[in-house]
Chains A and B, each alone.
Chain A
Amino acid sequence: MNWVVVVAGAMIGAPLRYLTDRAVQARHDSVFPWGTFLVNVLGCLVLGLVTGAVTAGAASSHTQLFLGTGLCGALTTYSTFSYETLRLTEEGARFYAAANVVASVAAGLGAVYVGVALAEAVWA
């Protein structure tokens, strides 16, 4: 059952990243990878909420596997994030590469804290 739940979440999360990335990238001309940045921060916010809800006893382990391991895991990506960072440095956009690393980690962590705090406010 756990595997089914993880797979079901991933089958939603992965296409969601593709669609979000595509929609975002078609709407700006900057080399900054806004699409990947956005899905990663969004996934961190949702996983923060889920983690907070589980801690507060408001969400089951299946919910965590579905939304956390499956959906957020597939929605967010480290491989695309690091490949884009490498390609930016190769293209001479070193500032964007450094900004991508710093902003992704800072905003991702910030989103986790916001998600956990929201979950505690609602369910604790």
Chain B
Amino acid sequence: MGAERRSEVAAEPIDPDVEPIDPDIDLVRTGRRQGVLHGQGPILAVVAVGGALGAAARYGASLIWPVAGAAFPWTTLAVNAVGCAVIGVFMVVLSEVWAAHRLVRPFFGTGVLGGFTTFSTYAVDIERLVEAGHARTGLAYLALTLFAALAAVWCAVAVTRRVVVYVGREAER
């Protein structure tokens, strides 16, 4: 969780330490021991708006691609995998390239992507499938979502880091 930021595009192999572990909060910037709401108004506002946009997009996806009760919940799986890929790109760009305004990360990372993806629907869908006698579908959904989400974030981070290094080298020529 390095505190220092790169001012220029990195030409060296990327040290992932500059990227935080928790993308949702920035304790270095917001301070650890202040009151819970101290100076949080603008952040809470953009998180709320971002969350509303993300959740609306997820709701829209569920209307466009509805899934019947006992069927495999492809829509939620796809929503979660896409959200994981996007957060991978976003966090690398934000850590390595773009010294963005302090509200960009709460708005997009915490709000939009957090509102778009969901863990609770994932867990409830597994329970519903198992209770309806479709235990195999439920377990397959459990495992496949985990695999898709982790593969998506891993690939997105790896590819984005390579692109950042490549672009940095080209810029130095």
Contact = CB atoms under 8 A, between A and B. Distances in A.
Interface of A: 2-3, 6-7, 9-15, 17-19, 21-23, 25-26, 31, 33, 35-36, 40, 43-44, 46-48, 51, 65, 68-70, 72-88, 90-91, 101, 104-105, 108-109, 111-113, 116
Contacts of A17: 24, 110, 114
B120 A43 contact: yes
A104 B80 CA distance: 15
A52 B37 CA distance: 34
Interface string B94-119: 00000000000010011101111111
Given A6-B59, A14-B111, A112-B127, A80 B48 contact: no
A87 B52 contact: no
Nearest to B86: A79
A15 B44 contact: yes
A13 B30 contact: no
Contact of B56 (A7, A15, A76): A7
A14 B47 contact: yes
B22 A80 contact: yes
Interface residues of B, number: 65
A47 B21 CA distance: 27
A122 B149 CA distance: 36
B36 interface: yes
Given A3-B56, A15-B48, A48-B127, 19 more contacts: A10-B56, A11-B49, A11-B52, A15-B44, A19-B37, A21-B22, A23-B36, A25-B27, A47-B120, A78-B80, A78-B119, A79-B109, A80-B110, A82-B149, A82-B152, A84-B23, A101-B150, A104-B119, A113-B127
Contacts of A2: 59
A82 B116 CA distance: 14
A79 B114 contact: yes
A76 B55 contact: no
Given A11-B48, A78-B84, A26 B33 contact: yes
